[in-house]
Structure 1
Amino acid sequence: MHANINLEKNEWRVSPDETVQVLNAKERKLQEYYLGKDEDRTNWRSIIFALAVIGSVLIGVLITVLALGPLDDAAAWFHIPLTLEDAIYQKKSVEMFQTGNALFIGDSVSFYDENGDISVYDPTTGVIKSLVPSSVLRLLNINNYHPSWDQKFVLLQYDEAYLENGWAKGHKYSIFVTSENYHFPLRIFSSVSTPPLLQHVEWAGKSSSLLLVYENNLYYKEYPLEDVLMQLNYDGSEYVLNGVPDWLYQESLGISDVTWPSENGKFLVYAKTDISEVGEEEYVLLGSNPREYSKASKIRYPKTGTNVPSLQLLVINLNEKEVVSEIFSLNVTESDPYLRSVIWSGDNSVTIAWTSRAQNVTSLLTCSAPTFECEDVYIARTRIEKQWLSTPKFVPSSKSNQEILFVNEVSDQKGTVSNQILHVRNPLHRAKPLKHEGISVADVIGWDEEQHSVYLTGSPDMYPYEQQIYKISDANDLEHSYLICLTCQNTSINLAQTCSYYRGSMSRSYRYIIIECLGPTVPYTSVYSIEDMKVVKDLNKESDIRRELVNGLEWREKRYTFDLADGSLGYIQLFLPLKWSEYLHGRLQFPMIIEVQESPEEFQVESKWRRGFDMYQALGLQVLYARMVGRERRNLKGSVLLASQDIIRMVRALLIEEKFIDKDRISIWGKGFGGYVATAVMGSPQTEIKCAVGVTPITDWLSSDAVTSERYLGSIEEAYKSYITGDLSMISHSIPDESFLLIHGSFGNPVQLQQSMKLAKALTRAETKFEQKIYPDADYHLNNVEKQIYISIQDFFSKCNTKNRS
């Protein structure tokens, strides 16, 4: 609660009192007794009495608070705030140790145990075996690991660093021999003592052979304990990349690995990318040595409407060390199709998905050994004009190359997307939807063809912010198939009542499932038996990290849905200050910060556990923190330009709904696409928002990369007007003075620094007073300066809000 009283000089005063008071002798003595003589009028008795009364009141309040206990709402006024350092540390600790670390090796599960070792758990026998001791992990400071299928070796990844091209990262690798309890570094040349930075390393399927990429060429190491290393190609260069993605595929299409070995390790499908015709974007690396000159580096950065990388998909027989075939895209008639996914089914068949450059057609084809000639499996096309398709998700049959399960997007006329599973059967391309009414599918995590069961993750239509794990039984019989929720609270599974967002993965035999609870409670991972859905092993539910956080500060939220201008729904998730009480807090007014999601495809109001800048504001600083999602997720080209209008509409509706929001202290910020929206909101004359921060914002869609711009707006030929009206420099004159902070890293990958500099130039020309911060050598993700970024945002909002209330 804030009370501001500003009295200017001579603004309010009492006129002098000139009354003459006459006292008799008795009255004068009484006055001198209580007030003292004229020369010493200090009222000590009254002061002591008043202090005694105040002290009694404070003691009474303290006794009452202690009697109420720390869980009572009154304790909110005396809470220990969550610091920014603690919020960031807790978030990273949970991400590192509580999520994403358990994986199946057949039916066994590898994970970090309570001692910090990499261990493997056999759910059939209940035996836990240590693979790599924590002392080795600490010595190397590893950031990832990959056990071999036979568990004799563990590939350890460490020492991440940028490669000479300046944008891609490489790592050093060591192989740990589990039976001998020692490790040795991977080298390309035995004569060089220092291990090199390798671009990629993985096991060749279930074998103990290794695939490596160094200086854009592929290498094959058949036996990990021998020095023999076979080079598979020799044409790798600055412009030709074998087995590693270029910038566009890695950053914009999200494909970090472009090598796919068969399960038996006999064949390898890999991508060869030619970027020689792609335009260059320059940037400067300042470095840390003041005596060295700055280095100018280049990224092959395809902007909207320009050449994109040319990609070949090749198949190598690793036994013969020779190329078997080249796989071409089919039914994507336009030039420059994008490779989206490659999945092996068994040892001799591979299914591949290509998408057109316009991202409105997806073609799936299956290629089989020995010649790897391909045939169509399924073609997905948008049914609505100006719609785009998301990354295709599918599971090929393990028994037949004629069948797949495909997650198909279904949209209404407003572009609202829900996903259904299609069972596709060749050669007639018959596709029948599986029965899962009321559920929008996120992914298929398993297809047990022996038991005719399909396992999936999905969100109920009524609760799109939740994600549960489901099983479709008798999937082959559409009339009698039925849907079972494996994680919902009304089932027999004894799961935490505060968990409603799950992720899962299946064992190879479909006897066990790893279930990760991602929130709202503190995340944890457990292994369940599919037969009776009972826990066979809690991997980290009782970890020290989780126990500390579960017993720590609790957060509360409110959710809202509002009608948008086109009749669709907008969603709001509002985090409330610590120990929120409608009776106590609802009568006060609090500042509010709005965060806009980083990507239009992100649904950031999911019911996941939160800790970071959001919880620092809500729990530490008693600030309302909101996440909002509008039409930008609708898969319609051009809808991203309406996101700012949706934010403004939802803020107005929220102010009508809730009176505890201080309308003079509403701020907004975002990164990437979120920075674009935050800036656009600030430039609108209808906005209720007073302050904005744009972090690495997209300013000009024409200067953005081809995949991003053409997906969300369309080609320049069909959407030129949208490109012009969506340019933030066009509204620079509408942004109020001292209301905007612009942040960027000098190494702005994937949103280039030129984007922010163009906006800064436009703001300067418009004579708009704004603040700008550039962090040297920081990339788009700003990981090394995360804390400093948040401090800058917090300081700016505090200053801006103070100005607005003065």
Structure 2
Amino acid sequence: MKITKLFFGFIVFIGLLTTAQDKAFTLEEIWGGAFRTENLQSLHSMKNGTQYSVLEKDKVSGATNIEVYNYETGEKAKTLISSSSIEGLDSFQGYAFSKDENRILLSSEMEQIYRRSSRGIYHIYDVPSNGVFKVSEKKIQSPMLSPDGNKIAYVQDNNIYMLNFVTGQEIQLTDDGKKNEIINGITDWVYEEEFSFVRAFDWSADSNKIAFLRFDEKEVPEFSMDVYGKALYQKQDVFKYPKAGEKNAKVSLFIADINAMALDQVKLGEYKDFYIPRIKWTANPDILSVQVMNRHQNNLDLIFVDAKTKTPKVVLNEKDEAYIDITDNLTFLEDNSFIWTSEKDGYNHIYHYATTGELINQVTKGNWEVTQYYGYDKKNKKVLYQSVENGNINRDVYAITLDGKDKKRLSTKEGINDAEFSADFSLYINYFSNATTPYEYTLNNGTTGKVIREIKNNKTLLDNLAQYDVRPKEFSTIEVNGETLNMWMIKPKDFDPKKKYPLFMYQYSGPGSQMVKNSWHRANDYWYMMLAQQGYIVACIDGKGTGFKGAKFKKATQNDLGNLEVQDQIAAAKQLGALEYIDAARIGIWGWSYGGFMSSNCLFKAPNTFKMAIAVAPVTSWRFYDTIYTERYLMTPQENAKGYDSNSPINFVDGLKGKFLLVHGSADDNVHVQNTMQLVEALVQANKDFDWAIYPDKNHGIYGGNTRLHLYNKMTNFIKENL
């Protein structure tokens, strides 16, 4: 077995804590928010390039303010707006500027729908006149100001509306919207969850046209959930959810010309059973870009539509043997040439294309991944991006010229660096953390990366943690099944390599994910430290199929989810169990969602390796999950039945020997509780003993009130009793 240390920063951290107290972490503190970091909320770079705005709450009055600060000095320039000055608006949760920053859209009374969607009450604040008005008396969805700031489009009851502030004219662009039948301008459940967007409309650059998607989901099968509440009778939440192999909504594209009062459908071509994961107007107000993808998601056309003639033209085609990831990186330059990211050379990189679709050049190259695209600095002809070039558990900020030359690493500290650039790219706020440093926010020069000043740090949190027995993550790699896998491990304070310790493993393992990275702690990390304080070693390994190591590594699990990933976790457990200080008879594993699918399989398929497992909100058969995610990696059940059934935990319950805890929320709209119920039935029929818990009316996140605290108490007790 080969385990290689990646870096030794944690040793320094241990040294800093030698004088620290030995206070133990508690679940009440962890889930009560005692270790939350301070951040910058809703930061917006002002168009002048010298100032930025943030959302702040007045601790005395409780009012919500948009405060404007000077980048260079950090001094507050002004309070742009305060909810205390708006009649009937005690506070607001978010804001968005018009392009000219003369109008601000304020959101309040927000009501969550699914993971990304919400509806709320919206007000428009006119900066020059200090005037305020409410967009609608009803709660609306996904409002968007036009580029000229004079209009707003929004969705209400599945229909699109447009309001002209100057004329006072309101136009209802569609009238056929109906729940569970027709949706205009926002996405259906599966698009929202898997293509990561809700607003399905966009304004043209001249503010005269709106392009939008229409979803006809009449033929999509319905899923229903009982919502128990506190009334005498439960209610049913019924919504359209296309499971793998079932019918999707029929999606179509429309363009509304506001001036001409015309609404036209755009025929994109002879596509059948297809997706439209993105629409976006180009710099030319008469050219709309549309991305069209086949159901297998391995063939993508970038189409330019002439808004005058409604004529489509394919300007770029991408193919992949496995699948193509959808991003928001498409950026149009002033000449309508465009920036595009692709994995076509085996790694995710940035490309520059002419408006005709002809490749001008590949901007970034190398055996590493671009992880974020920040934008294009037209003055200096620089592309700004984030990548894992400095090790795939780290992130750094880079600048490179559009022709792929003069690459410069702007960030300097090893860990996770992220950037928020000023409107003119001359400055940026660097968000930095690593496994031993909570979030630091600094103002940096956009050309050199030099730190100009510190904006905010979390030294208070670090000082607070000095009294605790903080257990650092030790980063390393482990050779498993012919691959070098990233790993971290947390050990008890008085670790003695001659003693035997139980091992508790955590993983997620889903395609493109990453759990082993050099970043500051999340709530679960404090839980792992708490377990280490109680004598457990906790470890995490990112196996095959996870991200940021190239397309080949990420797509190794294609058409066979839960096979190679499970083999990697089992092999890693065996290797770690062979270490002198690991008790091979006391190895446990846990995971949530995809991780619960994995932990169940590991326990059932390797009963002599794992003593116990916890599965929270697990997929237990991919036949129960949605079309877009599942078919991206497995094709349809009709095409690949083996890929669905050979790795379903339901089919391997006979292998259960150890202790098993199964947890689910009854109102999980994402991974339906059906998954757990089917697994429970299989376990019962196999006469297997196990523990399980259902949290009433809780969704995939299983939170609210004391819910998380209760769940983690339950899991902690289960670990203590069975490992």
TM-score normalised according to structure 1 size: 0.78
What is the alpha-carbon distance in structure 2 between the residues aligned to residue 244 and residue 212 of structure 1? 9
**Is this contact kept in 1: 2:649–2:679, CA < 8 A?**
yes
Q: 1:662 to 1:166 in 2, by over 3 A?
A: closer
Q: Which runs of 5+ in 1 are unaligned?
A: 1-69, 189-195, 412-416, 490-496, 802-806
Q: Does 1:529 align with 2:442?
A: no
Q: 1:328 to 1:659 in 2, by over 3 A?
A: farther
Aligned to 1:796: 718
Aligned to 1:277: 219
Q: 1:604 aligns with which of 515, 521, 531?
A: 515
Aligned to 2:304: 366
Q: Which amino acid aligns with 2:710?
A: Q
Mean Cα displacement is larger for which, 451-460 or 148-157?
148-157
Q: Which amino acid aligns with 1:259?
A: F
Q: Which runs of 5+ in 2 are unaligned?
A: 1-13, 60-64, 547-553
**Is this contact kept in 2: 1:733–1:766, CA < 8 A?**
yes
Q: Does 1:696 align with 2:617?
A: yes
Q: 1:129 aligns with which of 70, 75, 78?
A: 78
How far did 1:347 drift?
Answer: 5.3
How far did 1:407 drift?
Answer: 1.4
What is the alpha-carbon distance in structure 2 between the residues aligned to residue 310 and residue 91 of structure 1? 47
Q: 1:371 to 1:131 in 2, by over 3 A?
A: farther
Mean Cα displacement is larger for which, 230-239 or 621-630?
621-630
Q: How is 1:544-583 mapped onto 2 (pairs within 5 angstroms)?
A: 554-565=470-481, 567-577=482-492, 580=493
**Is this contact kept in 2: 1:111–1:119, CA < 8 A?**
yes
What is the alpha-carbon distance in structure 2 between the residues aligned to residue 548 and residue 227 of structure 1? 55
SS at match of 2:522: coil
Q: How is 1:320-339 mapped onto 2 (pairs within 5 angstroms)?
A: 320-323=260-263, 325-329=264-268, 335-339=272-276
Aligned to 1:486: 410
Aligned to 1:156: 106
Q: Which amino acid aligns with 2:54?
A: F
Q: 1:390 aligns with which of 312, 322, 325?
A: 325
**Is this contact kept in 2: 1:699–1:755, CA < 8 A?**
yes
What is the alpha-carbon distance in structure 1 between the residues aligned to residue 153 and residue 34 of structure 2? 33
Q: 1:233 aligns with which of 142, 167, 174?
A: 174
Q: Which amino acid aligns with 1:87?
A: I
Q: Residue deviations 1:589-613, cap 9 Å, x none? A: 4433322227432112122211312
What is the alpha-carbon distance in structure 2 between the residues aligned to residue 342 and residue 104 of structure 1? 25
Q: Does 1:593 align with 2:513?
A: no
Aligned to 1:617: 528
What is the alpha-carbon distance in structure 2 between the residues aligned to residue 598 and residue 749 of structure 1? 21
**Is this contact kept in 2: 1:600–1:673, CA < 8 A?**
no
Q: How is 1:633-712 mapped onto 2 (pairs within 5 angstroms)?
A: 633=546, 634-636=554-556, 637-642=558-563, 643-656=565-578, 658-685=579-606, 687-712=608-633
What is the alpha-carbon distance in structure 2 between the residues aligned to residue 82 and residue 178 of structure 1? 48
Q: Which amino acid aligns with 1:400?
A: D
**Is this contact kept in 2: 1:90–1:611, CA < 8 A?**
no
Q: 1:513 aligns with which of 428, 449, 459?
A: 428
Q: Which amino acid aligns with 2:528?
A: Q
Q: 1:353 to 1:177 in 2, by over 3 A?
A: same
Aligned to 2:649: 728
SS at match of 1:798: helix
Q: Which amino acid aligns with 2:577?
A: L
Q: 1:432 to 1:175 in 2, by over 3 A?
A: closer
Q: 1:485 to 1:257 in 2, by over 3 A?
A: same
How far did 1:569 drift?
Answer: 2.9
How many aligned residue pairs are there? 685
Aligned to 1:111: 54
Q: Does 1:295 align with 2:245?
A: no
Aligned to 1:81: 24
**Is this contact kept in 2: 1:105–1:149, CA < 8 A?**
no
What is the alpha-carbon distance in structure 2 between the residues aligned to residue 354 and residue 99 of structure 1? 36
Aligned to 1:464: 392
What is the alpha-carbon distance in structure 2 between the residues aligned to residue 314 and residue 714 of structure 1? 29
Aligned to 1:429: 358
What is the alpha-carbon distance in structure 2 between the residues aligned to residue 604 and residue 556 of structure 1? 15
What's the % identity of the aligned pairs?
Answer: 20
Q: How is 1:170-185 mapped onto 2 (pairs within 5 angstroms)?
A: 170-176=119-125, 185=134
How far did 1:113 drift?
Answer: 5.5
**Is this contact kept in 2: 1:420–1:441, CA < 8 A?**
yes
What is the alpha-carbon distance in structure 1 between the residues aligned to residue 41 and residue 643 of structure 2? 40
What is the alpha-carbon distance in structure 2 between the residues aligned to residue 254 and residue 91 of structure 1? 31
Q: 1:602 to 1:288 in 2, by over 3 A?
A: same
Q: Residue deviations 1:573-626, cap 9 Å, x none? A: 22344xx47xx5444444333222274321121222113122123147524332
**Is this contact kept in 1: 2:67–2:76, CA < 8 A?**
no
How far did 1:375 drift?
Answer: 2.2
Mean Cα displacement is larger for which, 364-373 or 302-311?
364-373
Q: 1:428 to 1:251 in 2, by over 3 A?
A: closer
**Is this contact kept in 2: 1:353–1:392, CA < 8 A?**
no
Higher helix share: 1
What is the alpha-carbon distance in structure 1 between the residues aligned to residue 34 and residue 289 of structure 2? 37
Mean Cα displacement is larger for which, 719-728 or 596-605?
596-605
What is the alpha-carbon distance in structure 2 between the residues aligned to residue 220 and residue 552 of structure 1? 55
Q: Residue deviations 1:449-488, cap 9 Å, x none? A: 443321111112x611111111113x32x5xx1321111x
Q: 1:690 to 1:408 in 2, by over 3 A?
A: same
Q: Does 1:764 align with 2:695?
A: no
Higher relative contact order structure (alpha carbons within 8 Å, sequence separation ≥ 6): 2
What is the alpha-carbon distance in structure 1 between the residues aligned to residue 168 and residue 538 of structure 2? 56
SS at match of 2:640: helix
Q: Does 1:444 align with 2:373?
A: yes
Q: Residue deviations 1:638-671, cap 9 Å, x none? A: 3422211110111222333x44334343322112
Q: 1:351 to 1:296 in 2, by over 3 A?
A: same
What is the alpha-carbon distance in structure 2 between the residues aligned to residue 669 and residue 374 of structure 1? 49
**Is this contact kept in 2: 1:200–1:214, CA < 8 A?**
no
**Is this contact kept in 2: 1:240–1:275, CA < 8 A?**
yes
Q: 1:549 to 1:132 in 2, by over 3 A?
A: farther
Q: 1:644 to 1:598 in 2, by over 3 A?
A: closer
Question: CA RMSD of the aligned region, Å?
Answer: 3.3
What is the alpha-carbon distance in structure 2 between the residues aligned to residue 376 and residue 551 of structure 1? 61
Aligned to 1:313: 253
Q: 1:153 to 1:167 in 2, by over 3 A?
A: closer
Q: Does 1:246 align with 2:174?
A: no
Structure whose CA Rg is larger: 1
**Is this contact kept in 2: 1:99–1:524, CA < 8 A?**
no
Aligned to 1:146: 96
What is the alpha-carbon distance in structure 2 between the residues aligned to residue 652 and residue 166 of structure 1? 37
Q: Residue deviations 1:759-784, cap 9 Å, x none? A: 00000000000111111111112232
Q: 1:90 to 1:762 in 2, by over 3 A?
A: same
Mean Cα displacement is larger for which, 240-249 or 628-637?
628-637
What is the alpha-carbon distance in structure 1 between the residues aligned to residue 315 and residue 103 of structure 2? 38
How far did 1:177 drift?
Answer: 5.5
SS at match of 2:562: helix
Mean Cα displacement is larger for which, 305-314 or 503-512?
503-512
Aligned to 1:65: none
What is the alpha-carbon distance in structure 2 between the residues aligned to residue 91 and residue 751 of structure 1? 30
**Is this contact kept in 2: 1:91–1:612, CA < 8 A?**
no
Q: 1:259 to 1:524 in 2, by over 3 A?
A: farther
Aligned to 1:304: 244
SS at match of 1:302: coil
